[in-house]
């Protein structure tokens, strides 16, 4: 048999999105594609996406990345969830954990049992039944055994790019240095034909992946795809990002701290901390936002805070002609639930699974666009929930959130939970029932009714079952090593190998 003609894949732009795409495609489609990545050392990356969700672990398995190698290369720490502070009300705090909360039955999810216990005057906080929350607050971590945790990572985005580049180039991907000055299109089809660099070099391809960031050089500037603006639901449009010196051992969770005009993040790495402030320029000036961020740092800043401007929304089509956009070229939803890297990884996975090898890929592109839109809109709704389900009215920004509308899809979810404590996860939904319930209850939205199956249990039986859950969690956490010990084990393992 004759070997198939290799498809020429050209990735425009590096950064996290570009090197994720190049690495995954060359590792999974070796022999079927040639991968060329074009980037310029003169163009910096945003580099604020340092917090992830558990889907990154599945993706790393997919592309053959060993966890310990990744952690050492990126100074990563483990992440068990997000601590949300001042969101429902000022001085409130709740935790959105990875993993399951409590135990559900086939008939009724756990929140119904907890609500019945609360009605009877016992049961404690909803988070009392999360293994991940208790481990996070205790600074503990375990990845194996009976107490295995659901987790993700905090990572150094710049180091992650270097790590992925090494993997991709070793697998056969080619990097071309240079600034893209123009994009050539086929005269008849309108498809992209080549990238033209400042040096005069032309990089031809069959499939182009746009990772050029907010500029969206291929998908928007060239193909005029269009953009769906979501700023009426998500009005924050600016962020400052800065790294700071570490002042304590890293905790295994991200902090998202609401302020009068948006929120701040704190992401602990082994060697430093990532910090940022997200805000609406209609309610807060850039100077005020920068000062607010710097004043809140736990340690000295490592450089001057960097200003980012953005508009929430997504491309009308992320796959247009022979171009697929990833990352910021596809759109932007603020990183409140750490979904930025996930949206790149899931899109690359779908692309590899449904790669356009045929002469006509119209139906594939339509399916890809529909699935991508569902993913983006699902993430959008979950982010908007944090602003919609709140009692804050202490500033003009928060009062405006109460008056703003929300997507119909989210309104239906909120009403379902408010009416009957029902939360659900569709077949293709990213966020689980436990995530929706954790945020809804955490932000103070309590249902008017719940399933009455738990009401048939005698009080002693329900109280005993919940008490057993809490004791089992406490016992499991007590047996775990500290987060710092686990990171030290990974580092020491490398040192031992180096001496052998």
Cα separations in angstroms, 480 against 142, 147, 269:
6, 8, 20
DSSP for residue 219: I
- Do 272 and 243 meet the contact criterion of CB atoms below 8 Å apart? yes
Catalogue the active-site residues.
79
- Structure tokens of 59? 């993706």
Which of 109-131 are b and which e, b meaning 16 or more Cβ less than 10 Å from the residue's Cβ? bbbbbbbbbbeeeebeebbbbbb
Alpha helices (runs of H) in 389-432, residue ranges in sequence order:
396-403, 408-420
> Which residues neighbour 458 within 8 Å (Cβ) at sequence distance 6 or greater?
none
- Give the list of residues 6+ apart from residue 226 with CB closer than 8 angstroms, or none: 220, 315, 316, 317
Please name the residue that has the structure tokens 């796959």.
Answer: 319
First and final C-alpha spacing in the chain? 46
Structure tokens at 100: 């399951």
Compute the C-alpha angle 102/103/108, nearest 5°.
115
Q: What is the DSSP letter of 444?
A: T
User: What backbone torsions phi and psi does residue 277 show, to the nearest 5 degrees?
Assistant: -130, 130
Three-state DSSP at 301 gives strand
How many angstroms separate the CA atoms of 126 and 386, rounded? 17
Mention every residue, 6+ apart, whose C-beta is less than 8 A from residue 177.
39, 40, 41
R_g (Cα) of the chain, nearest Å: 24
Task: Report the half-sphere exposure of 286 (CA within 13 A, side-chain side).
Answer: 10
CA pseudo-torsion sign 343, 345, 347, 350? negative
Q: Sheet harboring 202-204: ordered strands across?
A: 180-185, 192-197, 202-204
Which residue is associated with the tokens 């985005």? 157
């Amino acid at each position: 048999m004759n070997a198939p003609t290799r498809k020429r894949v050209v990735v425009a732009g590096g950064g996290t999105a570009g090197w994720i795409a190049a690495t995954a495609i060359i590792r999974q489609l070796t022999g079927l594609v040639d991968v060329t990545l074009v980037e310029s050392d003169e163009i910096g990356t945003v580099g604020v996406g340092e917090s992830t969700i558990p889907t990154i672990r599945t993706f790393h398995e997919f592309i053959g990345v060993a966890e310990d190698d990744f952690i050492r290369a990126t100074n990563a720490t483990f992440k068990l969830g997000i601590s949300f502070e001042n969101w429902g009300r000022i001085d409130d705090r709740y935790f959105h954990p990875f993993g399951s909360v409590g135990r559900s039955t086939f008939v009724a999810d756990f929140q119904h049992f907890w609500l019945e216990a609360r009605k009877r005057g016992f049961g404690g906080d909803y988070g009392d039944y999360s293994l991940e929350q208790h481990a996070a607050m205790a600074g503990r971590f375990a990845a194996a055994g009976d107490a295995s945790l659901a987790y993700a990572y905090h990572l150094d985005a710049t180091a992650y790019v270097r790590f992925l580049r090494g993997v991709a180039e070793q697998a056969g991907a080619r990097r071309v240095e240079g600034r893209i000055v123009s994009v050539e299109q086929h005269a008849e089809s309108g498809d992209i034909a080549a990238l033209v660099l400042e040096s005069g070099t032309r990089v031809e391809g069959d499939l182009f992946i746009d990772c050029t960031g907010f500029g969206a050089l291929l998908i928007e500037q060239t193909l005029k795809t269009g953009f769906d603006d979501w700023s009426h639901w998500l009005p924050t449009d600016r962020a400052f990002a800065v790294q700071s010196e570490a002042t304590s051992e890293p905790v295994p969770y991200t902090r998202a701290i609401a302020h009068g005009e948006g929120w701040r993040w704190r992401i602990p790495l082994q060697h430093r901390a990532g910090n940022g402030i997200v805000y609406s320029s209609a309610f807060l000036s850039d100077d005020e936002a920068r000062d607010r961020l710097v004043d809140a740092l736990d340690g000295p800043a490592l450089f001057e805070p960097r200003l980012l401007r953005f508009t929430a929304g997504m491309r009308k089509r992320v796959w247009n002609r022979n171009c697929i956009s990833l990352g910021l070229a596809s759109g932007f939803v603020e990183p409140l639930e750490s979904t930025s890297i996930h949206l790149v990884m899931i899109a690359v996975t779908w692309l590899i699974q449904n790669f356009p090898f045929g002469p006509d890929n119209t139906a594939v592109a339509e399916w890809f666009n529909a699935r991508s839109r569902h993913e983006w809109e699902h993430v959008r709704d979950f982010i908007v929930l944090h602003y919609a389900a709140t009692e804050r009215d202490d500033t003009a920004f928060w009062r405006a959130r109460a008056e703003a509308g929300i997507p119909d899809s989210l309104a239906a979810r909120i009403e379902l939970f408010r009416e009957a404590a029902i939360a659900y996860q569709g077949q293709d939904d990213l966020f689980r029932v436990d995530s929706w319930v954790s945020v809804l209850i955490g932000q103070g939205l309590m249902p008017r009714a719940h399933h009455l199956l738990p009401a048939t249990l005698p009080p002693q039986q329900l109280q005993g079952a919940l008490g057993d859950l809490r004791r089992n969690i406490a016992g499991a956490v007590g047996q775990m090593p500290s987060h710092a010990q686990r990171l030290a084990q990974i580092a020491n393992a490398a040192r031992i190998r180096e001496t052998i």
